[in-house]
Amino acid sequence: MSDLPQFHDAIAAATETLRSLSSLEARMVDAADLIEQCLRAGNKLLVCGNGGSAADAAHFATELVVRFAKDRRAYPAICLAGDGGLLTAAGNDYGFDEIFARQVAAVGVPGDVLICLTTSGKSRNVERALEEAKAH
C-alpha cells in the first residue's frame, strides 16, 4: 500500500498552515518587538518545550547565541530543555511538571522573555514555566 495519499495530505496541511500565517502577522511583529526590547535592555530569552518542541527550542536558542543568516553579536538565549542531568534531577526531585519552572525560578529575572513552544498547549510543565515567569 502506498503512503502517497498521506504524503499529499501532509503537503496540503503544510501549505494551508503557511497561508494562514498572514493572519498572525500582527502578533508575530508584537512578539519580535518584545524580543528586541528584551535583548536591547540586556536581558535574555528562555525557551522551553517538550519533544519536537524541545528540539525547536534548542534550535531557536542556538541560532540566537551563535548566528543565523550572518555574523553578528551573540544574543543571550537559554534552552530550558537542553540539560539532561538537570531535567532528570528536577523531574525526580520535584516532578516532571516542575522541570522548566524550577529553571525559570533559578535564572529568570524581570525583563527576561520566556518563549514556550507547544503543539498541544496542554503540557503542565510548560504551563508551570509560564506561571513561574509571571510570578517574577
**What does the pLDDT look like over 64-74, one tens digit per residue?**
999 988 999 99
Q: Is the pTM of this model over 0.75?
A: yes
3 pLDDT tier (thresholds 50, 70, 90) = confident
pLDDT per residue as tens digits for the range 76-133: 999 999 999 999 999 999 999 999 999 999 999 999 999 999 999 999 999 999 999 9
Cα separation, 131 vs 128, in Å, equals 5
Please compute the mean of the pLDDT values over residues 56-63 and round it to a whole number. 98
Indicate the SS3 state at residue 109: coil
Residue 54 CA: distances (Å) to CA of 61, 69, 83: 11, 22, 11
pLDDT for res 4: 87
Q: What is the CATH number of domain 41-135?
A: 3.40.50.10490
Tell me the domain boundaries of the chain: 41-135
